[in-house]
Amino acid sequence: MEERYNAGPIEAKWQQSWAENRTFKVSEQGGKPKYYLLEMFPYPSGRIHMGHVRNYSIGDVVARFKRLQGYNVLHPMGWDAFGMPAENAAIQHRVHPAKWTHENIANMRSQLKKMGFSYDWDREFATCDVDYYKWEQLIFLRMYERGLAYKKSSTVNWCPACQTVLANEQVEDDCCWRCDSLVEAKELEQWFFKITDYAQELLDQTWNLPGWPEPVLTMQRNWLGRSTGCEIEFPLETADGHIRVFTTRQDTVFGATFMSLAPEHPLALELTTPERRGEVEEFIARVRREDKSRRGSEEMEKEGVFTGAYCRNPVTGGRMPVFLANFVLMEYGTGAVMAVPTHDQRDFEFARRYDLPLQVVIQPPGEPLDPARMTEAWTGPGQMVNSGEFDGLGNEEAKERIADYLQQRGLGKKSVNFRLRDWGVSRQRYWGTPIPVIYCERCGIVPVPEQDLPVVLPVDVEFTGEGGSPLAKSEAFLQTSCPTCGGSARRETDTFDTFVESSWYFARYACPDYTQGPIDRSRVEYWLPVDQYIGGVEHAVMHLLYARFFTKVLRDLGLVNLDEPFTNLLTQGMVCMETRSCPAHGWLFPEEVHDGKCRKCGAEATLGRIEKMSKSKKNVVDPDHLISRYGADTARLFSLFAAPPEKDLEWNEQGVEGCFRFLNRVWRAIYDNLALIGLAAPPETEGAARQLRRLTHRTIRKVTDDIDGRFHFNTAIAAVMELVNEIYSFEAKQSSPGAMREALEAVVRLLAPFVPHLAEELWCCLGHLDGLEAAGWPAWDPAALVEEEKTIVIQINGKMRGKVVVAADADDQTIERAALEEPNVARFLAGQTVRKVVIVPGRLVNVVVG
């Protein structure tokens, strides 16, 4: 054994051994219980960053821990390889997205291998592989057959100068990030997945996911946004037909005094009277322009325009002017709102601005509401007034009764509405899965026949960032013949949202080599669901909801037998760092800043906010220098020790040194004691050895609980540090070689999931030839934990005043007597009346005086 810890050669040795022996390759055989551990796969941005190191170190601890516990662990890795940055690189640096992506993957793969993560690399794939995305195209065809994929019109961000569609991220202050032109809203026909068909099931199953963090479930429930109420029809005054609204407040229908439509509402222009037309058109155009970010926000000025048309309140017969209002969203409900200014704050502000009538229909307890003097809407509970036969009822009861009333008279019906909208999957981009559809002038939309799959992304296209998707300019791709009539036709040039790929990759890991379809049922049924899924909180809603949706779709297509994909979920906090920018060069990487100045031009770098590390803001740290300087084990240990997984981690490097020092201490503890413990007998159980054994076994229990139960790796590591500190200061080691050996072996075995290279090496040094996995996870001995004495804290009126040591089995009277006799306590109690004594067994005594 070397005298000093030298990470480099040790890590190279074990990584080579794992690779050569295919140590982490798994199959469905083996007779052990299965455990599928998955971390969210990375976007191949070029280099791994600390967020990856953290995410994958957490995952690897669990994978190795479960393996030590005797599970058959599937732990795969791959690449979420389609997406915008590849295309941006193509535009900026004239690199083909495929080349850029594959180079990045090669880079990052070697970085991950250097970290020593225990992946089954034989299952690796990238979503840009034809062998992956062709099956996605097949799933799309099946969804299309079932009506789960359909086309409809929707708006995109359009840069008129670049003649191209922008992602939300590419819009800065309503302007194009490349050319600074004002971004417009543009209508396009796009593909959608009917996730709303599954809204109820997605909601119901949130109550059946005990292994998910409650905040994530809450966010998903709120995103789905189920509300119950009524659809009510308001007849038009001058024409046939009616305006249909959805409301959760049918109890206020008697107070509806005007109507608000979304500017995009199909009736908007149809109803507008000729003399109002100019103003209405101008309003629609204006709202559409400011659309994006601000609409729906409460601070936005409520604005509207009168259409000149009227409808009738179906229960009062009252005449209601029809307005268009900028805060009414076409995507939610029916795109029309019955306005009750007395009991809805937005309607109230709107009514004040346009001088519209107010009618109180719910009277809160106390002073009667006076419409003329109200300063805000009353949205709380109260008693019904001005509501015909419903007067005098509580408004909650009236909700039910009015719903029945409307339904009986055919004026409306009870209805459930979700906030969730269908999932728009069309992207006007090159670097994504081509949507397998052909447009024929004669036959219309024709899905690509299954035997013609895959629709392969062409390689020879040009990237300018202007003039729309490169695919649309590739004649070779575009021109095809209609599969139905054989006539000339053109291909769909939109590609899928990259969330589609990440919605089913976890299933493909079970059978990445399967050639007969997307999913090999028997293998997928063995491995799925994922037992533990680990990834960033930023995916709490969208990715996780889409993946849940896709699982249900695959089930209904008969491909899997599964309702939910992820049994347990751990959402890790983000790794954050301050951003820096230069007035001339924009965002700066940390290494581009020197003494607070931009290295390129010397200008003062502006210190920005602390944000999630991201490629686009360039506030990223490359873990490579940590690995080369300290080794992968130190990098792993630090990312786990710095904070519990669910917390955000503000990056700073203080503390790395401490983790490295600790590993050196562990190394030396073994090295220094190797001779002593070489021929050790079983651990001694009396005297000083007993103390050491107690801590050894207590540490085994704590580390086990911290890893298994709550994923608090920082406290698990701290516990091992305490044991190592104790080993260093243990004075009776000459008389306790057995207990010393037990303690040192426990340290190595407990550290194995965190610092696997070092642990394997030390395990060898301790004379074990068949590896740590053969040894399994250590068990604690309850007998070693038994304590003879306990320290009891004594409080007076809740303040700590002293401590007393009593026998572990002392009864309450003994403890109370000892507490009252403690000198400092006695001093405080002199002249006071003891009113009550609270005794918490084994912990504390609180004496209440006064």
Question: Contact with RNA (CB under 7 A): which of 1, 12, 161, 167?
Answer: 167
Q: Supply the DSSP string of 271-324, one letter for each residue.
A: H--GGGHHHHHHHHHHHHHHHHHHTT-TTSPP-EEEEEEEEE-TTT--EEEEEE
**275 burial type by CB count under 10 A (0-12 exposed, 13-18 middle, 19+ buried):** exposed
Instruction: Determine if 833 is a binding residue for RNA (CB under 7 A).
Output: no
Q: Using CB under 7 A, which of 18, 24, 43, 283 touches RNA?
A: 43
Residues within window 302-361 making contact with RNA, judged by CB under 7 A: 331
Query: Residue 11, interface with RNA (CB under 7 A)?
Result: no
CA distances from 581 to 46, 584, 592, 598, 603 (A): 21, 9, 10, 8, 10
Q: How many CA atoms lie within 13 A of 543 on its CB side?
A: 21
Per CB under 7 A, does 834 bind RNA?
no
Whichever of 688 and 848 has its CB closer to RNA, that residue is 848
Q: Which residues on adjacent β-strands are paired with residue 446? A: 438
Location of structure tokens 């662990």: 73
Which residues ranging from 170 to 189 are in contact with RNA (CB under 7 A)?
170, 188
Q: Which is nearer to RNA, 42 or 412 (CB)?
A: 42
DSSP codes of every residue in 735-785: G-HHHHHHHHHHHHHHHTTTSHHHHHHHHHHTT--SHHHHH-S----HHHH
Q: How far is the CB of 545 from RNA (least distance, A)?
A: 9
Question: Hey, which residues between 746 and 805 contact RNA (CB under 7 A)?
Answer: 791, 793, 795, 797-801, 803
Cβ atoms of 287 and 302 within 8 Å: the answer is: no
**Contacts with RNA in 385-424 (CB under 7 A)?**
419-421, 423-424
Find the binder of RNA among 728, 789, 805, 832 (CB under 7 A): 728
DSSP-assigned beta bridge partners for residue 795:
800, 846
Using rule CB under 7 A, residue 17 touches RNA: no
Q: Which stretch binds RNA (CB under 7 A): 100-108, 109-117, 456-464, 660-668?
A: 660-668
Q: Residue 99 Cβ, how far from RNA at the closest point, in Å?
A: 18
Q: Which of 70, 381, 602, 658 is close enough to bind RNA by CB under 7 A?
A: 658
| Sole window of 98-106, 202-210, 507-515, 657-665 interacting with RNA (rule: CB under 7 A) | 657-665
- Judged by CB under 7 A, the chain residues 198 through 217 that form the site for RNA are 214-215
The answer to whether residue 625 forms part of the interface with RNA (CB under 7 A) is no
157 belongs to the binding site for RNA (CB under 7 A): yes
Contacts of 93 (CB under 8 A, 6+ apart): 100
Measured CA distances, 842 to 781, 790, 792, 799, 847 (Å): 21, 7, 7, 18, 16
Asked if residue 163 binds RNA (CB under 7 A), the reply is no
Q: Quick check: 844 binds RNA (CB under 7 A)?
A: yes
Among 54, 114, 302, 427, binds RNA (CB under 7 A): 427
**Residue among 77 and 721 whose Cβ is closer to RNA:** 721
3-state secondary structure of 57: helix
> Could you tell me the smallest distance in angstroms from the CB atom of residue 153 to RNA?
11
Nearer to RNA, 123 or 539 (CB): 539
Given the structure tokens 């049922």, which residue do they identify? 521
Closest C-alpha to 305, from 290, 322, 320, 292 = 322
DSSP one-letter string for 408-469: HTTSEEEEEE-S---EE-EE--SSSPBP-EEEETTTEEEEPPGGG---PPPS-----S-SS-
Distance CA 228, CA 246 (A): 9
Per CB under 7 A, the list member of 528, 530, 537, 804 interacting with RNA is 537
What residues contact residue 531 under an 8 Å CB cut-off, 6+ apart?
34, 35, 36, 37, 567, 568
Alpha carbon 248 to its chain's center: 30
Q: Which residues within the stretch 445-504 sit at the binding site for RNA (CB under 7 A)?
A: 497-499, 502
Question: How far, in whole angstroms, is CA 325 from its chain's centroid?
Answer: 34
Nearest distance in Å: CB 86, RNA: 9
Residues recorded for the chain: 850
Q: Does 643 bind RNA (CB under 7 A)?
A: yes
Q: Is residue 642 at the binding interface for RNA, with CB under 7 A as the rule?
A: yes
Site membership for RNA, residue 381 (CB under 7 A): no
Q: How many CB atoms lie within 10 A of CB 289?
A: 13
CB of 419 to RNA, least distance (A): 5
389: Cβ contacts below 8 Å, ≥ 6 apart: none
- For RNA, the closer of residues 33 and 296 by Cβ is 296
Verify binding: residue 649, RNA, rule CB under 7 A.
yes
Query: Is residue 6 a contact point for RNA (CB under 7 A)?
Result: no
The tokens of 52 are what? 């990856």
- Rounded CA gap, 249 and 339, in Å? 10
743's tokens: 């303690």
- Closest CB to RNA among 261 and 825? 825
Stretch that binds RNA, among 64-72, 263-271, 533-541, 549-557 (CB under 7 A): 533-541
10 vs 544 by CB, closer to RNA? 544
In the complex with RNA, the residue whose CB is nearer, 56 or 71, is 56
Q: Which of residues 246-275 bind RNA (CB under 7 A)?
A: none
Residue 570 binding RNA, by CB under 7 A? no
Q: Give least dist CB 72 to RNA, A.
A: 29
Q: 38, 166, 402, 435: which one contacts RNA (CB under 7 A)?
A: 166
The one among 58, 149, 162, 165 contacting RNA by CB under 7 A = 165
Binders of RNA in range 53-82 (CB under 7 A) = 80, 82
**Shortest CB 289 distance to RNA, Å:** 16
**In the complex, minimum distance from the CB of residue 433 to RNA, in angstroms, rounded to a whole number:** 12
Nearest to 697 by CA among 707, 708, 683, 713: 683
Of the candidate residues 101, 137, 190, 417, the single one contacting RNA (CB under 7 A):
190
Judged by CB under 7 A, the chain residues 77 through 116 that form the site for RNA are 80, 82-85
Nearer to RNA, 294 or 625 (CB): 294
DSSP output for 650-700:
E---TTHHHHHHHHHHHHHHHHHHHHHHTT--SPP-STHHHHHHHHHHHHH
Indicate whether 288 belongs to the interface with RNA (CB under 7 A): no
- Nearest CA among 805, 802, 676 for reference residue 744: 676
Q: Which two tokens stand for residue 271?
A: 């109803």
Judged by CB under 7 A, how many residues of this single chain contact RNA?
101
Using rule CB under 7 A, residue 223 touches RNA = yes
Verify binding: residue 717, RNA, rule CB under 7 A. yes
Residue from 233, 708, 722, 781 binding RNA (CB under 7 A): 722
Among 168, 228, 464, 814, indicate the residue that binds RNA (CB under 7 A).
168
CB of 195 to RNA, least distance (A): 8
Residues 542-561 that bind RNA (CB under 7 A): 542-543
8 Å CB contact between 74 and 99: no
8 A C-beta contact, residue 795 and residue 829: no
Does residue 576 belong to the site contacting RNA (CB under 7 A)? Answer: yes
Among residues 838, 833, 834, 831, which one has the least CA distance to residue 792?
838
The verdict on 644 binding RNA (CB under 7 A) reads yes
Closest approach, Cβ 410 to RNA, in A, equals 31
Stretch that binds RNA, among 138-146, 248-256, 355-363, 608-616 (CB under 7 A): 608-616
**Share in percent of the chain as helix, strand, coil (round to 5):** 40, 20, 40
Q: Tell the smallest beta-carbon distance from residue 831 to RNA (Å).
A: 15
* Residue located via tokens 């089954």: 120
Closer Cβ to RNA, 10 or 440, answer by number? 10
Nearer to RNA among residue 269 and residue 330 (C-beta):
330
